[in-house]
Amino acid sequence: MSSTLENIQQQIGENPILIYMKGTPQLPQCGFSAQTVQALMNCGERFAFVNVLDNPDIRTELPKFANWPTFPQLWVEGELVGGCDIVIEMHESGELEKLVKAAAERANSAESSDNA
């Protein structure tokens, strides 16, 4: 297994809410990433991000690993949620906020039990 794949698996495993995007949440570099990160920010929970423009190895390998060809990609608790269209649809239906808040709550309770 390549170190890039190990890196991707580690990122997905360590971050309950993770978006692979072009740019950063503060400075998205494509419209799809901008829309997706805005929907995610509206949920009000912390999330991690990886700028695939700064990580060409991840940009090349992740679509093969995920079997999803485009960016952004939203991952929640190790599962690929989808890209821009799916995330926007989920945000509009209220489903995204429920999913993100539940993941954040589980992560926070796991974190607090680790620190106990």
Q: Which residues are annotated as a binding site for glutathione?
A: 22, 59, 71, 84-85
Binding residues: 22, 30, 59, 71, 84-85
Question: Which residues sit in the known binding site for [2Fe-2S] cluster?
Answer: 30
Instruction: Judge residue 57's burial from the number of C-beta atoms within 10 Å of its C-beta, 0-12 exposed, 13-18 middle, 19 or more buried.
Output: middle
Tell me the C-alpha distance between 44 and 49, whole Å: 15
Pairing between strand 48-51 and 17-21? parallel
CA dihedral 96→29→62→16, nearest 10 degrees, is -40
Reading the block at residue 66, the tokens are: 């995920």
State the number of CA atoms in the 13 A half-sphere of 65 facing the CB. 24
SS3 of residue 13 by DSSP = helix
